Each structure stands twice: as C-alpha cells, then as structure tokens.
Amino acid sequence: MQVIGILAFVVALLLSVMVHEFGHYITAKKFNMKVTEFFLGFGKKLWSFTKGETEFGLKAIPAGGYCRIEGMTPQDQMPAGEESRAFFTASSGKKLIVLGAGSFAHFVIGFILIFAIFAGVGYTALLSQIEQVSPNSAAAQAGFQKGDEIVAVDGKKVKNWYLDSRLIGQSQGAEMKFTVKREGEEVTLTARPQFIEDENRYVLGVVTKVGTKRESFLPALSSSARTTGTLIKESVKSLFTLPSKVPQLVRQTFMGEERDPNGLVGIVGAARVSGDAVSSERLNENERLTTFILIVASLNIFVGIFNLLPLLPLDGGHMAVAIADEFRALFARIRKKPRPAGIDVNVMTPITMGVFGVLAILTVILLVADIINPVSFNF
C-alpha cells in the first residue's frame, strides 16, 4: 500500500505540472504568442507528437516540465513575419496573465481537490446523531433516545455539531429547545443543561457519533473557499519563515537531529508521507483517501505561492520585470518621453543563476534529509 501511495503521489505531481504548463500554454495561445514545445520532464526525449506549431511529449527525467514560448527576450530570433508573436513584444498585462496562469492553475487544482473532499469523499467529523444518553442526565430527563439526530438547537439549524454544540456549554443552565429527528419524524424536546464541576462546564448528557460527513454543493463551495484561503495564508507564512528553518534542516540532515514535522519537507519526503498515509492502519479507508488528497492539494497551493516569489527564474520574477517595465513607462510618460525599451532579463543572468544555485542546494539538502532522516507524521 505504501508503494501505491508513493506512485499515486508521483502521478498526481506530474498531472499538476502538466496543468501548470497548460495554464501558460492556453493563455499564450489566446494572445497569439508562438508556442513551439510542451513537454513533461527534462533530458532525453522519449516520445512526442506535433499538433499545429507545437510539439507535445515526454522526456526521460520526470522532474517537472516546460512550455516553450518563443521570443522571451529581445535576443531570441523569431521566424520572418512572426515578430509580433514574440512574448517580449506583448503588453505587460498579457505577460502577467501568461506568467501567472501557472500558479493560478495550482490554486484551481487545490480548490477542486478540497471541494472533492467536502462534497464527495467526505471527512471525519462529530455528527449530531446520538450514540449514548447518560443516565440521570438532562438529556435522559428530557426524553432523548439513542439514534435521535439533533437537527436544530433553539431554532438554529445544526450545520456543524462540533461548533453548534458549544451553545450547550454557553447556556448557563437555561432551558433550551432541541429539534430531533426520530424514525423519520421531527420531535421537539426541552432540557436544562447540567453543570458538571469536574469538567467546569454545562452538558446535556449525550455522546454523539463520529463518522464521515459530506456537504451539499453550495456549503461545500463555501467550506472549500475558506479552507483554500487558510492554506494560502499558511503557505505565505511558511515562505516567510523558510530562511529561519534552513539551519534547522542542516542540523537534521548532517547532525542527526530529529526531523520536525512542521519543518521543511522535499518532494521525496512528501511522497513518503503520502505512502505512509495511504498504508496507515490507524486511519480508515476514507481517512486515508482524504489525507492523500489534502497532501496533494496543500502541495499545489504551496507551489503556486512559491512560484509567485519575485525571483528569477521563477514566474514571479518575470512578473516583477513586467511590472517594473510598466513603472518605467509611467515615469517616462510623466516626463513626456517615449516609452523605454523593455527590460532584458538576460542582463540579470548572474542574479538568476545565484537564485537557481541556492534553490538547487536547498533541493539537494532536502533530498538527502528525506532519504537518511525522513520526517514522520505517525499516521
């Protein structure tokens, strides 16, 4: 099962890369830019076919992919008569859309996967169906029975029992009205929650089931949007704290320090964690699938945010250049001068290579750490 989980993660990652590159491809074609290659992987070509002016295919090293848009810099030679189709000659707005389409695709993938959890696969939650009624409790006195499903509290429809049940603790012992569904019919019961000194709270005296919950379309959309927003915020926080975690990663890699589950994890580590989740005996079948989907969704959202960093060679670096071009053009208009030539990213090659070098070193350290000192989430 662990091998299946790892292979499933690899397939999901390759599909994510494909959708990322397709985002660049479809928007570039929309703006009539010339796209000549669309490949998954790097290195030696394994298989390809040509449709129109674009060659599609697979390469030997499954470590990413690329969409080749011609004319990325002024030095790139365009076929005669197609100079206007160069990426470099497009407006800054079109450049930003094409460059940002890859990250946008990752956000869409993440949202769809999270929506699949809420609306389809389901997630483990505290349900409002009663499993046990405590003797001599407020619930027993009010006539609650095993199997009753609490559908409303004081007229408020139950949507999330984990949250809605807090009304009981906040009741201060006041009489509360409960609507329960019993054998297909709705019954109204009234009860005064009792104060339990050992727990320092008011309780009704029921134990409800824990099970799989699925939401209808609109609530699932809302929950997916909130969860996606939370993952985006957490990804941004992770990027801000990333530099401070590098020394810790070095210690964990070369000095035997225990891996921190909240620390940095590479692709190999994420694949291993996916395998552990899928093969875990502590999780039921539904929880395994939900955990796997959430890992893939989280990875997509993090990669989407990371790719927007204003650093070359990332898409965010190219976007920063396009934005800088517009500011230069604005200042030129203010001074009533002609629009200056666009910034040539080739002049920033030393910076690009420096960033690439840092990312390459970090990738190698993560690879070593994930192999010799893998992170464990104790699924």
Q: Take residue 154 and report the two structure tokens written for it.
A: 């004081």
pLDDT (mean) for 128-143: 95
> 346: which 2 tokens?
């080739």
Rounded to an integer, the average pLDDT of 33-47 is 94
pLDDT confidence of 264, banded at 50, 70, 90?
Answer: confident
Under the banding of pLDDT at 50, 70 and 90, the label for residue 378 is confident
Domain boundaries, the chain: 1-34+70-122+216-379, 124-213
Residue in this structure with the two tokens 């396009």, named with its chain if needed: 322
What is residue 185's predicted lDDT score, i.e. its pLDDT? 95
127 has pLDDT over 90? yes
CA-to-CA dists, residue 294 to 45, 116, 123, 298, angstroms: 33, 10, 11, 6
Which CATH code fits 124-213? 2.30.42.10
* pLDDT at residue 297 tops 90: yes
259: confidence class by pLDDT, cuts 50, 70, 90: confident
Contacts of 11 (CB under 8 A, 6+ apart): none
Q: pLDDT for 56-86, tens place per residue?
A: 999 998 878 899 999 998 888 999 999 999 9
Band of the pLDDT at 318, cuts 50, 70, 90? very high
Mean local confidence (pLDDT), 93-116: 97
Q: Is the peptide bond before 313 cis (omega within 30 degrees of 0)?
A: yes
pLDDT recorded at residue 32: 97
Contact indicator for 112, 197 with CB cutoff of 8 Å: no
Q: Is 21 a catalytic residue?
A: yes
Q: What is the pLDDT of residues 2-32, one digit of tens each?
A: 888 899 999 999 999 999 999 999 999 999 9
Lowest-pLDDT range, 33-47, 143-157, 273-287?
273-287
Query: What's the CA dihedral at 347, 357, 305, 253 to 10 degrees?
Result: -170
Write out the E strands in the chain.
35-51, 54-69, 123-133, 149-153, 156-157, 176-182, 185-191, 194-196, 201-203, 206-213
Q: Which residue has the higher pLDDT, 376 or 345?
A: 345
**Mean pLDDT across 286-306:** 96
Give residue 101's pLDDT. 98
Q: Is 229 helix (H, G, I), strand (E, B) or coil?
A: helix
Give the mean model confidence (pLDDT) for residues 348-377. Answer: 89
pLDDT recorded at residue 38: 97
Mean pLDDT score across all residues of the chain: 93
Residue 374 confidence (pLDDT) above 90: no
